Amino acid sequence: MTRQTPIKWMGGICLLVVLLVIGSASVQTTAYAQNSPEVLGTDAQTEFWRAIRQGEQGTVSIPDKNAAQLIQSEGDNWRALRNGPLSVYGAQALIGMVLVLAIFFLFRGRIRIDHGWSGWTVQRFNEVERFGHWLLAGSFIILGLTGLNMLYGRYFLKTLIGDSAFATITAWGKIAHNYLAFAFMIALVLVFIMWVRHNFPSRTDINWLIKGGGIIGPSHPPAKKFNLGQKIIFWLVLLCGISISLTGIALLFPFQTTMFADTFALLNVFGFNLPTAVTPIQEMQYAQLWHSIVSVALIVVVIAHIYIGSIGMEGAFAAMGSGRVDLNWAKEHHSLWVEELDAAGTLNAERDSVDRLSKEEAVKDEAVKGEPAE
């Protein structure tokens, strides 16, 4: 008795399964006869092939399900933009900026301290500020050079030093680029915390803008710790830097972010009509393009910044070098800042450690400088 019951039971299930199989098979046969010709390949199947050409996903038995897409044409667009406009306009902008600065230098020359060196200095940037600046600047220069090498190296450096040496340098450059990115991001945060309070727009900026920053005319428009030009580069470095950092993170962790899909969805709220169905590989293509575009733009801006902070202006480099600037320089370029310090009693002018003047001149210039705090 105990044996017969499960056999009957199983027999019933088997019958049910057989019936189900027959049923489903007959349904499939009917569907097949209706939709497919009996001989394969006699049909043009234009829709079928068009769908594949446009990136239709099939199925694969391998673990990488992204491999189910037979053809992704977006790569062609990426290639065309990267090897076309990005490379061409990028090179033109970089060379153009260097040329503009060279021409400016030839005609305007070095911007001198109008009243000459005073022989007295004031503290402009302390150790922490200079550390933040040089962490940002140092990482940016290496990131910029290794990044430009990825874009232009094969047309330039490779022809000079050969395949093998170039590949070795580029491989190390890639590693440096990947890890120094974090120094850049930390420095970006530091710089923001240190200087954001000095970089809000103010009324003096309008006057500064009207006078063209004093670069063209003979007069120096008044400015606080940072003039409008410095405020512009602060916000450009910050906004571009954040954008570059975010896309850089997307490139460091490939196929794991949905940054562009999210950004496009957000932009669409404001009336744009951008695609929100972005595949992982398209995310990478967008990230690489945007990373390069913004980086090249920022490099162009920073070349001008480096120029004006070094050979372009007498006395400017000391601000980030020793941290102490000549008092006459400070009065000419940041008159309101000097007044602020003076009013607060924190001017603390000291004799310049570099003996730029003869003793008589230094004494004479004390009148120009006014009463030193100490």
Partner 1 sequence: MARMKFLCDAERCIECNACVTACKNEHEVPWGVNRRRVVTINDGKPGERSLSVACMHCSDAPCMAVCPVDCFFYTEQGVVLHNKDLCIGCGYCFYACPFGAPQYPQVGNFGSRGKMDKCTFCAGGAADAGSDEEFKKYGRNRLAEGKLPLCAEMCSTKALLAGDGDQVSNIYRERVVARGFGSGAWGWSKAYPGGGS
Which residues are near partner 1 by CB under 8 A?
Answer: 31-48, 51-52, 56, 58-64, 66-73, 75-76, 78-79, 82-83, 149-151, 153-154, 158, 163-164, 166-167, 170-171, 174-175, 178-179, 252-254, 281, 284-285, 288
Among 289, 177, 190, CA closest to 243? 289
State which residue, 111 or 296, has the beta carbon closest to partner 1. Answer: 296
Q: Rounded to the nearest whole angstrom, what is the least distance from the CB of residue 51 to partner 1 in the complex?
A: 8
Find all residues with CB under 8 Å of 53, minimum gap 6, and list them: 71, 73
Structure tokens given for 201: 């727009």
State which residue, 42 or 219, has the beta carbon closest to partner 1. Answer: 42
State which residue, 174 or 211, has the beta carbon closest to partner 1. Answer: 174
In degrees, rounded to 5, the angle at the alpha carbon of residue 261 between the alpha carbons of residues 289 and 80 is: 30
Q: Rounded to the nearest whole angstrom, what is the least distance from the CB of residue 264 to partner 1 in the complex?
A: 18
Q: What are phi and psi of 123, to 5 degrees?
A: -70, 125
User: Phi-psi region for residue 354, left (φ > 0), alpha (ψ -120 to 50) or beta?
Assistant: beta
State which residue, 4 or 164, has the beta carbon closest to partner 1. Answer: 164
Judge contact between 123 and 323, C-beta under 8 A: yes
State which residue, 40 or 210, has the beta carbon closest to partner 1. Answer: 40
Q: Rounded to the nearest whole angstrom, what is the least distance from the CB of residue 160 to partner 1 in the complex?
A: 14
State which residue, 100 or 249, has the beta carbon closest to partner 1. Answer: 249
Instruction: Estimate the crossing angle of helix 203-210 against helix 228-252, to 10 degrees.
Output: 100
Q: Rounded to the nearest whole angstrom, what is the least distance from the CB of residue 316 to partner 1 in the complex?
A: 36
Q: Rounded to the nearest whole angstrom, what is the least distance from the CB of residue 156 to partner 1 in the complex?
A: 12
Q: Rounded to the nearest whole angstrom, what is the least distance from the CB of residue 71 to partner 1 in the complex?
A: 5
State which residue, 75 or 201, has the beta carbon closest to partner 1. Answer: 75
The one-letter amino acid code at 157 reads L
- Residue 288 CA to its chain's centroid (Å): 10
Among 252, 268, 63, CA closest to 260? 268
Q: Rounded to the nearest whole angstrom, what is the least distance from the CB of residue 76 to partner 1 in the complex?
A: 6
To the nearest 10°, the Cα dihedral for 350, 353, 356, 362? 30
- Residue 131 CA to its chain's centroid (Å): 21
- Bridge partners of residue 324, in order along the sequence: 123
